Amino acid sequence: MEERDYYGILGVPEGASFEEIRSAFRRLALRYHPDKNPNDPTALEKFRLITEAYSVLSDPARRAEYDRKLAERRKRFERRAEAWDGHRRYAGFRSRRVSLGELLDKVTIRIPKMRPLNFNRVLSSVFRSLRLRRRAEEWSPGDVTIEVSLTMKEAAEGVRKIVEVLREEVCPECGGSGRTRYSRLDYCTRCAGTGHVFSRQGDFMVSQRCPVCDGTGRILVNPCPSCRGKGVREVPRRIAVRIPPGVRDGTRLRLRGQGGRGDLFIVVRVREEDGFLRRVGDDVYCEIDISFVDAALGGEVEVRTIDGRAKLKIPPGTQSGTILRMRGKGFPRGDGTRGDQLVKVNVVIPKNLTPEQRKLLEQLRRSGGIK
C-alpha cells in the first residue's frame, strides 16, 4: 500500500484540500465505475485503486501516516541518487556524444500502411453531423411552444396576435445569487456530502446522483424566499407575433430568444368556419343547398367566402353534386395571385308540398316538362 502514489491516482497535488480530493474522486468514480464500463476489463481494478486512494487521503490520520512514509521514500531515493552520482564521478564516467547520423542509423522508422479513403463513409458522417446540428438548432430544452388559433379570414389576410410567455429573469430580491444574509451552505443529509446515493439492484450496488442536492453535496439553508434559491423567477411577458398571410394549419413560426431560456415557437391552428369552409391547398371548398327551381331555371345565390358574402351565379339545369368555381376567392399564393373557391351544389327536393304546388307540378309533368 505504501508504494502506490495515491495523489497521482486521483490526479491532485500533494497539498490538495479535502474538497479537491473529493471532487477528483467523484469525477473518476463516475468515469471508471464498472456498471458504466461493462466491456472494459480494467475498469474494476481502476475503480478499486481510486476507492483505495480516496479512503486513505480523505482520512486525516491515514493521510498523515501516508505523507510521512512518502517523505521517507523520497529521502531514501535522494540518498541513492547521490550515492550513484558519486560513483559515476569516481569511476570517471563520461557520456559520449552521439551524432545525428549515428542515431538515425540505429533507428528504424516504420510507416503504417494507409487504407484507401471511403468517400461514402465520409459523406454519410458529414450528413449525419449536419442532421444532428439542424435538430439541435430546431429545438432545445429552454424553448417554449405556444399554439395560436386563427380564423380562415385571419389565416388568409395575416394578423397580429399578442401572446403571453413566462420568461426567466434575474431575481431582484437577491440579485441572482439565490441567497440572503441568513443563508448558508450545509452538507446534504441524504448523501452525506458525497453527491451520490447508492441503491441495490439485484446483486449490484448502483450509484446515482443525489436527488436532493443534484450531485453537489451541499444544500442551501434559508434561501431567497422570492426565487427559492434559484436566482431567477418566471415573469409573464406579452409578445406581439406577426402571422404572415396565407399561413397553413400546423405551421411553426420561430422567434429567437423570446422563449423562457431559448426560442419561442408559435404553432398555427386554422379552424374551419363551423365546418362550412375548408382549405384544400390554396383553394377553399364549401357546399351550399339550392332549391330544384333555382337548379332548373338558374339564378344567383349568396355564398360565404373568406372575404365575406359574395354572389354565385347558378347556371340553368345545374345537377346536384356539381362543383362551381369562384375565381380569386381562395388563399394568397407566393406569386401574388390567389386560389379559387370550389362550391359543391346540393339540390334540395321539398318533402311537403302545398296542394297548389302539387297541382302545378302535375300539370308540368302531363305537359312533358318533367321526365
Q: How far apart are CA 322 and CA 252, in angstroms?
A: 36
- The verdict on residue 125 lying in a domain is no
Residue pair 241/161 in contact by the 8 Å Cβ criterion: yes
Asked if residue 358 has pLDDT above 80, the reply is: yes
- The verdict on residue 134 lying in a domain is no
The pLDDT of 169-176, averaged and rounded, is 81
Residue for cell digits 458522417?
Answer: 125
Together in a domain, 167 and 250? yes
pLDDT for the residue 1: 40
- The verdict on residue 341 lying in a domain is yes
For the stretch 91-129, pLDDT in tens is: 444 445 555 555 555 555 555 555 565 656 666 666 566
- The verdict on residue 191 lying in a domain is yes
pLDDT for the residue 131: 59
Residue at a domain's end among 236, 266, 296: 266
- The verdict on residue 225 lying in a domain is yes
Quote the domain boundaries for residue 212: 144-266
- The verdict on residue 100 lying in a domain is no
Together in a domain, 172 and 243? yes
Residue pair 207/238 in contact by the 8 Å Cβ criterion: no
pTM of the predicted protein model:
0.46
The pLDDT of 58-84, averaged and rounded, is 80
Q: Which amino acid is at 306?
A: I
Q: How far apart are CA 249 and CA 279, in angstroms?
A: 9
* CATH code of 175's domain: 2.10.230.10
* CATH code of 59's domain: 1.10.287.110
Q: Which residue has the higher pLDDT, 328 or 135?
A: 328
Together in a domain, 243 and 343? no
Q: How far apart are CA 113 and CA 302, in angstroms?
A: 83
For the stretch 42-60, pLDDT in tens is: 777 888 888 888 888 888 8
Residue at a domain's end among 90, 110, 135: 90
Q: Which percentage of the chain shows pLDDT scores above 90?
A: 6
13-17, 141-145, 308-312: the lowest-pLDDT one: 141-145
- The verdict on residue 67 lying in a domain is yes
- The verdict on residue 328 lying in a domain is yes
pLDDT for the residue 327: 92
Total number of domains in the chain: 3
Q: State the average pLDDT for the chain.
A: 78
Together in a domain, 250 and 282? no
Torsions phi, psi for 369 (to 5 deg)? -75, -25
- Crossing angle of helices 18-31 and 43-57, in 10° steps, is 170
